[in-house]
Structure 1
Amino acid sequence: MKQNFTVRQGALDGVEAFLSVVQHRSFRRAAAALGVTPSAISQTVRVLESRIGAALFVRTTRSVGLTEAGERFLSRAKPAFEELVAAGEVARELGQRPSGLLRLSVPSSVMPTVLEPLVASFCRAYPEVEVEIVANAKFVDLAAEGFDAGVRMGQFIEADMVAVRLTPPFPFEVVGSPEYLTGRTRPERIADLRDHACLRLRRTNGSIAPWSFVDGNKPVEAIVAGPLIAQDYPTLVGAAIRGVGLAQVPRPVAAAALADGRLQALLTPFAVITPGVFLYHSGRNQVLPKLRAFIDHVKFRGADAGDAGPTSERRATPRPPPPAGKP
């Protein structure tokens, strides 16, 4: 087998060669252990000694010993190098099997309806992965803030992200409780909202989101007014259930209340259809096994539930303007 004629380069150039010579008390045996030539080991140690500014070995024709400088260097270099090797093994484990901490940036509005069932089943399937969910309405830089992935509605995901569908497309619907609608005229047209108390969402940039609709093929924004402004959709849904006013929210957030009659859908012919909710991350080349396992779990659960939507990852594409404010 052809021998290597250079010693591996690394963060601690020459230290591995030095420690191998110490262990074997021989340049020749150290070279054999590292799979390089004796001359390569000798040259590497000379470069290390030159960089340090002191001789590390006493060499004779029959033996190799350490100088006082070599003894001192060994006392610090050996544990440091062993710790570096151990750190590499820990990192390698994360690159070979699903384990470690999986951090997700998620808007609170999608937690109960979309993410909680997925996270619960994932934790049971992958007990070596810890999942940390950070509820955050604002957009974050995934890499800069230490997140493996995020969850957002499709129209808000940047085009350079890789997106995995979590839900089918769904409408933004105006909802109201039977209590609120009793004695009032139900809105049949967008303009009728002027006569109603409308609960509003404050966006992460501080502005209040208008209500968005589609009239035929024409997008329409309505400036509404009402007694309550909130920063998340679940709060708006809760207030609508209690009869405070009408709210415009993503259908999945209000699905349970619509199903049991606590809320009723209004102005449905004018509802904007959004692309749905997606898991997104920075790219396939940066996916550790823990995130890959979560992505595969998302796809499997989606297929198992018969959800519409792609089963493969894709680059996010530009989306139409947001319907009612960022989640």
Structure 2
Amino acid sequence: MSQPNDPFSGLSAFLAAAQTGGFTAAAARLGVSPAAVSQAVKALEARLGTPLFIRTTRRVGLTEAGAALFARAAPAAAEMAAAIEAAGAMGKEPSGLLRLTVPHMAVPLIIEPTLGILRRTHPKVAVEIAVEDATVDLTARGFDAGIRIGEYIEPGMVAVRLTRDIFWSVVASPDYLAEHDRPRQPEDLTSHEAIRYRFPSSGTIYRWEFERDGKTLSVDPRGSVIVNDGALLISSARAGLGLAYVADIAVETELATGTLIRVLEPFLPKTPGLFLYFPQRAQTQPKLRAFIDLARQVLRP
């Protein structure tokens, strides 16, 4: 129980509410009542002499003081939690909640083959998986680790390879190609309909990248369909709505069955594949090590 002069009193409630965007969600994460979270935050605000949250009927948001506190306290709290867990984990069975953020692409490739095995072999490890394609601040969102394409991992993170390199592909359905001339050069895209992808985090639309004679060429094709979800991008291509620029590992089944066909192959680049990434302080956590070891074993082929 926290003492009146404890500088950390109410901090866990504050961090949970800031990360989840509400007292109810924070209470569920901490295993207490929403009233207990609200009371702890109010006591912290009273002690600091400034409000930390802007409260509305739908959610709570951080004030300027709350945002400043969260920016400094969240990384420190994560470091302390990792240190405590590492100290108490020597020789112990992996346990606790493993929180992962993964893109849609990783669900069939990595999560589905490993999740059931992880739960059977390490029943004390609970798993929470957030599927989102946007770039995520692991510490701010309270995740233990994430999975992303290698080139999009922020600097300073430990990265563990999970898949082979990615060969990018421009694909279309047989029906689309039956109605349109097959593009032979990147410049031919001006006469085609493209399904365009908008990055969820930055809001920018992805420019298609090609290589020719050792030089990089980027094209911003026209298109009447814009999505911010990789799965919808692929299904739209299958439906014949246009050409799509995708990672080959995300459409292996479609390419093998012929429901999608590659074009412009000589001009497409290769990039690093999918990696599990996490802060260096987290690599000693038994629950994370258990997932890494299992993923390497299951995904080795």
* TM-score between both structures, scaled by the size of structure 1: 0.63
Which of these residues, 105, 108, 111, is aligned with residue 109 of structure 1? 105
Tell me the equivalent position of 1:238: 235
Of residues 214-223 and 117-126 in structure 1, the stretch that sits farther from structure 2 once superposed is: 117-126
Gaps of at least 5 residues in structure 2 are: 4-83
- CA deviation string 1:87-120 (max 9, x = no partner): x99x836982201100001112321233221222
- The count of corresponding residues between Structure 1 and Structure 2 is 218
- CA deviation string 1:114-171 (max 9, x = no partner): 3221222222221111111011222222223211100000001123111111100011
Does structure 1 residue 258 correspond to structure 2 residue 255? yes
- CA deviation string 1:24-69 (max 9, x = no partner): xxxxxxxxxxxxxxxxxxxxxxxxxxxxxxxxxxxxxxxxxxxxxx
Of residues 292-301 and 107-116 in structure 1, the stretch that sits farther from structure 2 once superposed is: 107-116
For residues 11-90 of structure 1, what are the structure 2 equivalents within 5 Å? none
Which of these residues, 103, 122, 134, is aligned with residue 126 of structure 1? 122
Which of these residues, 182, 185, 190, is aligned with residue 181 of structure 2? 185
Change beyond 3 A, Cα 1:243–1:125: same
Q: Secondary structure at the match of 1:237?
A: helix
Q: Secondary structure at the match of 2:141?
A: coil
d(CA) in 1 for partners of 2:221, 2:126: 43
Which of these residues, 147, 150, 165, is aligned with residue 151 of structure 1? 147
Q: Secondary structure at the match of 1:96?
A: coil
Does structure 1 residue 160 correspond to structure 2 residue 156? yes
d(CA) in 2 for partners of 1:167, 1:94: 30
Q: Tell me if the contact between 2:89 and 2:285 (Cα under 8 Å) persists in the aligned partners.
A: no
How far is 1:183 from its partner? 3.2
For residues 145-294 of structure 1, what are the structure 2 equivalents within 5 Å? 145-203=141-199, 204-283=201-280, 286-294=283-291
- CA deviation string 1:260-296 (max 9, x = no partner): 1101011111111110000001115652100011111
- CA deviation string 1:187-213 (max 9, x = no partner): 010001111100000012111111111
d(CA) in 1 for partners of 2:155, 2:275: 13
- CA deviation string 1:55-87 (max 9, x = no partner): xxxxxxxxxxxxxxxxxxxxxxxxxxxxxxxxx
Q: Tell me if the contact between 2:110 and 2:295 (Cα under 8 Å) persists in the aligned partners.
A: no
Q: Tell me if the contact between 2:89 and 2:286 (Cα under 8 Å) persists in the aligned partners.
A: no
- CA deviation string 1:163-184 (max 9, x = no partner): 1111000111000010001132
Q: Secondary structure at the match of 1:269?
A: helix
d(CA) in 2 for partners of 1:287, 1:143: 16
Q: Secondary structure at the match of 1:104?
A: strand
Q: Tell me if the contact between 1:94 and 1:288 (Cα under 8 Å) persists in the aligned partners.
A: no
Identity of aligned pairs, percent?
Answer: 42
Q: Provide runs of 4+ in structure 1 moved above 4 Å.
A: none
d(CA) in 1 for partners of 2:225, 2:109: 23
Which of these residues, 135, 144, 147, is aligned with residue 139 of structure 1? 135
Q: Secondary structure at the match of 2:179?
A: coil
d(CA) in 1 for partners of 2:195, 2:268: 17
How far is 1:237 from its partner? 0.8
Tell me the equivalent position of 1:37: none
Does structure 1 residue 97 correspond to structure 2 residue 93? yes
d(CA) in 2 for partners of 1:127, 1:113: 22
Gaps of at least 5 residues in structure 1 are: 1-10, 13-87, 306-327
